[in-house]
Amino acid sequence: MINARDAVERARRNKTVIPAYNIPNLSMVEPIIRAVVDENSVAMIQIARVEWEKFEGKSLEAVAEEYEKYKNTAHTLLHLDHVPVIDEDLQEVDYLTLIKRGVNAGYQSVMVDASRLDLDGNIAATKAAADIAHAGGVPCEAELGAVMGHESGPMPPYEEIFATKKRFTDLDEARRFVRGSGCDWLSVAVGNIHGAVADNLKFQKKPEARLDIGHIKDLYEATGVPLVLHGGSGINKDYIKRGIEVGIAKINVGTEIRQAYYKVFEKTGEVAPAQESVYNCVCGVIRDMLDVKNTRTLLYG
């Protein structure tokens, strides 16, 4: 049985990455796990709060129950993604209760997002969540800066975001944040963006993002913790490869596989072909986008 903390640390040492696939629909769990095993990869299955609030993820417990049916403990892990303190509609969330529920449901790692608070507030909220996670024996991921895209309103043009470095993770703040919060992994804003979650935008193609590689390197050296890249779909492959070289050890993939499922399901009205679309998409992500085929052997022999 693999361990989340150890898997991410091994990925960092070996300059590869652990993909984390988001589950907005329970039917996606089985084909994703099947693809990961067939490609001899290592990956996380994860759900964010927004995916049970605005899609068909149902609940964190429902995903954990579905995961239990199909898990392969030599290849897969279960991660609770994006539990916000303030959500995309700017509403307060009972985030500590959700973190506790995740630990109790068997999630092997959790992620709290207090990035909409000021620095001191983010540190305090993250520490409270990390304390709960650590008491349950699991690592805690956090976010500093703002990976844009989940907000209800329109985003600025991507080129404006990158050129201005709007809400990129600050180097000095990152040092202080990791030291004060006790987080184990840090999600950073370095040019990456989330896929839109609004109903009228769910099939919208993401702009091809790029990454500030020098900034990733500086952040890793400043914090000493594995870095996480949210919004992995749509990023130029060369940037992903270079980002992994200098500090990225976990990468979230959501938009690509979500669209693979829903485009086929809405066309056919049938789950089975939508699942096969997800399976094929994940195999493509593993082989072509991330080059993580056979990482099980690379990491564990």
Structure token pair of residue 195 = 């896929």
pLDDT averaged over 10-residue windows placed end to end, the chain, 301 residues: 97 98 96 98 97 92 98 98 94 98 98 96 98 98 77 55 70 97 96 56 56 95 96 84 97 93 96 98 96 98 92
Amino acid identity at 238: D
Catalytic residues: 81
pLDDT score at 137 = 98
CATH class belonging to 4-300: alpha beta
Beta-bridge partner residues of 188: 144
* Residue closest to 282 by CA, chosen among 199, 230, 274: 274
Where along the chain do its domains lie? 4-300
For residues 280 and 55, what is the distance between their CA atoms, to the nearest angstrom?
22
Helix (H, G, I), strand (E, B) or coil at 153: coil
Reduced to 3 states (helix: H, G, I; strand: E, B; else coil), residue 89 is coil
Position 205 scores a pLDDT of 52
pLDDT the model gives residue 161: 61
- Cα–Cα distance for residue pair 215/246, rounded to 1 Å: 10
What was the pLDDT predicted at 197?
Answer: 40
- Asked if 146 and 189 touch (Cβ cutoff 8 Å), the reply is yes
Query: Whole-angstrom distance between the N-terminal and C-terminal Cα of the chain?
Result: 14
